[in-house]
Structure 1
Amino acid sequence: MALLTMGLTGCGGAVGAGTTAVRTTAAESRAPAGETTPATTPATTPATTPATTPATTPATSAPTSAPPTGPNVSGCFTERDGKIFTHVRGLPGVIAGDGPVGVVISYERRGTVCSWRPLSDRLVAAGYRVLLYARDAGLLPEDGAVAMGKRLAKEKGVERLFLVGGSIGATASVPAAERLGAEVAGVVALSGEIDEGDAAALTVPLLQIGSEHDSYGGAASMRATEAAATKSPDNQVLIIPGESLHASALLGSPHAAKVLDTVVAFMDRHKG
């Protein structure tokens, strides 16, 4: 019997940008070792060879798609997925979906919008309007999240917003929510290490998701934030036991379905 093998290809086609000076906050200085240097160009996922290919079968190259030539974000989102826009220094972003409740996703340092596609697709299917953007290394993550929140709020038909972040993007989303004010319906933080003062000031629902042994935004950090966020009307924590998965890695793990279900249920409960 012939064995069929399938090659998996990662997201490609990064959008380049010039180098700018970087300001560092206390929260950023505590970021995981893999996230300490900002990057405006997402890394390319290395190709892998399926282990199930028999030794007697001639090696073949996995089929690849040509990188998009038109407007796109990191080669992962094109105009077929939503409205492509540009912000500071010509960096790209995308707004997918057309629902009345918007979601701004801010990824982890050295991250890419590609790894957040599972969450974006799920939210669009659930009726949300999702904005993802290539982050500018010259802006504080909090300022970037605020700018994107204001941009999405101006879209026709958008009534409320959620801020979602991974790692430093999660850390920044909490103070960004306070700055944006009443239009924010809630915050979802994946593997964020949130300042207790920021948590204490938060007045909207908060969902924290992370893994037990993560060195940044792990169980101890999430419990401290939970205890500090006394003004949050719904203060929810999901800890994946026995794991050290960080931020968007949760979305590609065996726990992805639970994570996505929890996020959608939280947003559905508070979208108004």
Structure 2
Amino acid sequence: MPEELRDTATTLKTDDGFRLSALLLGDGPDGVLLDHEQGYSICSWLETGRRLAAKGFRVLLPEFRSHGASENDEENGRIGLDAKAALAELKRVGAKRVFLAGASCGGTTAIVAGEAQSLPVTGLLIMSSPATCHTVDAVLPVRRITAPSLFVVGSDDMLGAVEREVRILYKNSGAKDKRLVVDEDGFHGTDMLRRSRNHERIQTLVSEFVEKHARG
């Protein structure tokens, strides 16, 4: 973590008693949740989070249980509670609405936790997220999210298996304003923002979509 961001670190506590590390960047009433994929950490969304905070958004980057500096959970099956704890923290610190974003299972949990909480959802960004992850099933919740939604996936990710999963979420999305973007490279989640041959285009697409829809 960059030294200048160490004072933005915070700790979240889940409903089942686990302590999670997190970064809270920026301020204001427009909240943005950035959930990372399994096997990654806060760092996967860090540059995106910093850019959004500089634009006037209140951004929370939680670190799932058994990842990074968060407490270890040998079962690791209740990650939906981690996204729930992150959204509760955004509300506690003053967010009046929230934009949901997540990569891989982070997107699955963002959908489920975001649909169930009380803050208005202004938008949804999904990158390589399966319809279900562990015990978290996002198919019914995504039908109830009507905010503008963007689904991004690599065409060759796991030989097309991930694209099929993302298409399930896209098909079931309750948003009238929704878009599916398939990148021809096979990178997964936030790796598309850095490693795809089209990473600059994807970065611009993601940034413009969040900035457009995250404000109330």
2:11 to 86, 95, 109: 86
- Length, aligned pairs only: 194
Distance 1:91 1:200, change over 3 A: closer
Contact 2:37 2:102 in 1 (8 A): yes
1:191 aligns to what? 128
- 1:35-54 correspondence runs (5 A): none
Give the CA deviation at 1:82. 5.1
Give the CA deviation at 1:212. 0.7
Contact 1:81 1:96 in 2 (8 A): no
Greater per-residue strand proportion: 2
* Larger RCO of the pair (alpha carbons < 8 Å, separation 6+): 2
The residue type paired with residue 150 of structure 2 is L
Distance 1:80 1:221, change over 3 A: closer
TM-score normalised over the length of structure 1 = 0.64
1:249 aligns to what? 191
Give the CA deviation at 1:257. 2.3
Distance 1:175 1:147, change over 3 A: same
Contact 1:118 1:251 in 2 (8 A): no
Greater per-residue helix proportion: 2
TM-score normalised over the length of structure 2 = 0.79
2:69 aligns to what? none
Q: CA RMSD in A?
A: 2.3
Matched, 1:111 2:40: yes
> Secondary structure of the equivalent of 1:233?
coil
Percent identity between matched residues is 25
Matched, 1:143 2:68: no
CA distance in 2 between counterparts of 1:250 and 1:83 reads: 26
CA distance in 2 between counterparts of 1:255 and 1:179 reads: 34
Contact 2:62 2:83 in 1 (8 A): no
The residue type paired with residue 81 of structure 2 is D
Contact 2:12 2:86 in 1 (8 A): no
Matched, 1:235 2:178: yes
The residue type paired with residue 256 of structure 1 is H
Distance 1:153 1:244, change over 3 A: same
> Secondary structure of the equivalent of 2:157?
coil
2:167 aligns to what? 223
Instruction: Find the structure with the greater CA-based Rg.
Output: 1
1:175 aligns to what? 112
Unaligned runs of 5+ in 1: 1-75
1:203 to 142, 146, 160: 146
Unaligned runs of 5+ in 2: 67-72, 132-137
CA distance in 2 between counterparts of 1:161 and 1:186 reads: 8
Distance 1:117 1:189, change over 3 A: same
Give the CA deviation at 1:207. 1.3
Contact 2:154 2:163 in 1 (8 A): yes
1:260 aligns to what? 203
